[in-house]
Amino acid sequence: MFVTANTEIMTTADPVKLWEYASDPVNWTASNPLEHYGLTYFCADNRPAEGVEFHQREKVAGVYADLRGRIVYMNKPNITVWAGTATYKLLGGLFRIRLPEGGVLKMEHTANGTRASHNVYIDFPNSLWGRLLRWCFVTILDGQKAVYDHTYRELVFFKEKLER
C-alpha cells in the first residue's frame, strides 16, 4: 500500500548543470535544511552512480528516518532510479518501523527549459499493521502532503540556486 508524491518544476537550468548541482550531497542536504541531516554515497567520489549505495538521514512528516538505499538505474543526467529501506524512529528510537521507499528523479530537456521531477513512494505492508501505520501516517501526520512538500521543496531549491 503506497503513499506517493509526484513533484515537478520547470527551470531554465541546463539538465547537466542541474544534475551536477543536485547530485552533490552537500547541496542535496541544503535543499531541505529543516528535514535533511546528511547524505553519503558509498563510493570514491561521493556521487550517485548505478549500483552505488547511499545513506540519508532526514525527517519525513516530522518523524526521523534513517534511509539506506542503492541507485538501481542511472542514465545521467536524464534519469536516476533509487530504492531503499527507511527506518522511522518513534519516541526517540524506542519504536522502529522499516518501510521500503524509492523514487525516480528525471531531468527532461524541453522547448521551454528543463522539466525536473522527483516521484517518490513509501510502501506500507499490506496487512492490518500496515493499514494502521498508513492510516496514522496519512491521517494523523498528514503524511501525503508532507511527502509532497518535502520533495517539492528540494526541486524548488535547485531551481532557485541555478536560475540566479
pTM over the 0.85 mark = yes
CA dihedral (38, 35, 147, 67) in degrees, to 10, reads 30
| pLDDT, tens digit (0-9, with 9 covering 90-100), for 19-44 | 999 999 999 999 999 999 999 999 99
pLDDT at 160 over 90: yes
| pLDDT, tens digit (0-9, with 9 covering 90-100), for 133-147 | 999 999 999 999 999
Average pLDDT, the chain: 95
pLDDT at 157 over 90: yes
Determine the Cα–Cα distance for residues 61 and 149; give it in Å rounded to an integer. Answer: 9
pLDDT (0 to 100) of residue 91: 81
Give the domain CATH number at 105: 3.30.530.20
Residues 87 and 98: beta-carbon distance below 8 Å: yes
| pLDDT, tens digit (0-9, with 9 covering 90-100), for 60-90 | 999 999 999 999 999 999 999 999 999 999 8
Helix (H) or strand (E) run with residue 109 in it: strand 95-110
pLDDT at 93 over 80: no
Supply the range of the domain harboring residue 147.
2-162
> Domains in the chain: how many in total?
1
pLDDT (0 to 100) of residue 124: 97
